[in-house]
Chain A
Amino acid sequence: GAVVSQHPSWVICKSGTSVKIECRSLDFQATTMFWYRQFPKKSLMLMATSNEGSKATYEQGVEKDKFLINHASLTLSTLTVTSAHPEDSSFYICSAATSGSHRVKNIQYFGAGTRLSVL
């Protein structure tokens, strides 16, 4: 399968600071990446779809000014949690979708996730 790298894997920050999470597709180009959020013992909740070279599409109820997404290249998308507060503490997971040129197209491959703790 394809490899998606997510960094950092764990971050602790003070309330009011901003945190950036990176998602990279290492061995394929991804025009579309996705960001999810997961609370303990719950399923993944899609936050937004990140499209290379254009604005992200946010799911209903997700604050786009709070969760800034940038997809500047075909292998990198970033999620910035701005002015983080304790309620933003969660497990954030990204995925990248293979395109038609990949041997297995239209499959989402996931990063290992980032655990964010806001104090």
Chain B
Amino acid sequence: DAKTTQPTSMDCAEGRAANLPCNHSTISGNEYVYWYRQIHSQGPQYIIHGLKNNETNEMASLIITEDRKSSTLILPHATLRDTAVYYCIVRVPTTSGTYKYIFGTGTRLKVLA
């Protein structure tokens, strides 16, 4: 099962900041939080990831609460092209020593003109 829960859908006005929340209350101390998005009929696109510090890159910012039980992805100035399904993922260790992603349902973000 996925270790994250997200709202099913959100709307955001074009040009405004889009704040997408994610709960991961069972996250372990050394587990990262990853964010991806999937535009219709394409493969997921990596956005950002973090452990406990806030992170920022050219696409987005990631705010992780101090207790690490939740995080928020921020798209500072949403455009119509940001309309997509956004997935928050905490990877799960495998028996072979690697990690795998278990996708939850994600948040369907619709940016409105």
Cα–Cα, bound, A108→B36 (Å): 10
Decide if B96 touches A6 in the complex (CB within 8 Å): no
Determine if A77 is an interface residue (Cβ-Cβ < 8 Å).
no
Decide if B41 touches A43 in the complex (CB within 8 Å): no
Minimal beta-carbon separation of B5 from chain A (angstroms): 13
Decide if A112 touches B87 in the complex (CB within 8 Å): no
Decide if A112 touches B42 in the complex (CB within 8 Å): yes
Question: How would you classify the secondary structure of chain B's contact residues: helix, strand, loop or mixed?
Answer: loop
Decide if B46 touches A44 in the complex (CB within 8 Å): no
Decide if A46 touches B43 in the complex (CB within 8 Å): no
A6-B43, A43-B87, A110-B43 in contact; A49/B49 too (CB < 8 A)? Answer: no
Cα–Cα, bound, A111→B43 (Å): 6
Decide if B103 touches A46 in the complex (CB within 8 Å): yes
> A57-B96, A93-B44, A97-B98 are known contacts; what are 16 more A-B pairs with Cβ within 8 Å?
A1-B46, A31-B98, A44-B38, A44-B87, A45-B103, A49-B96, A49-B100, A57-B94, A93-B43, A95-B43, A95-B44, A106-B99, A108-B46, A110-B36, A112-B43, A113-B41
Q: List 17 A-B pairs, Cβ < 8 Å.
A: A34-B101, A43-B104, A43-B105, A43-B106, A44-B87, A46-B102, A49-B94, A51-B96, A51-B98, A95-B43, A95-B44, A106-B32, A107-B49, A108-B34, A108-B46, A109-B46, A113-B42
| A interface, CB within 8 angstroms of B | 1, 4, 6, 31-32, 34, 36, 43-46, 49, 51, 57, 91, 93, 95, 97, 106-113, 115
| B interface, CB within 8 angstroms of A | 32, 34, 36, 38, 41-46, 49, 87, 91, 94-96, 98-106
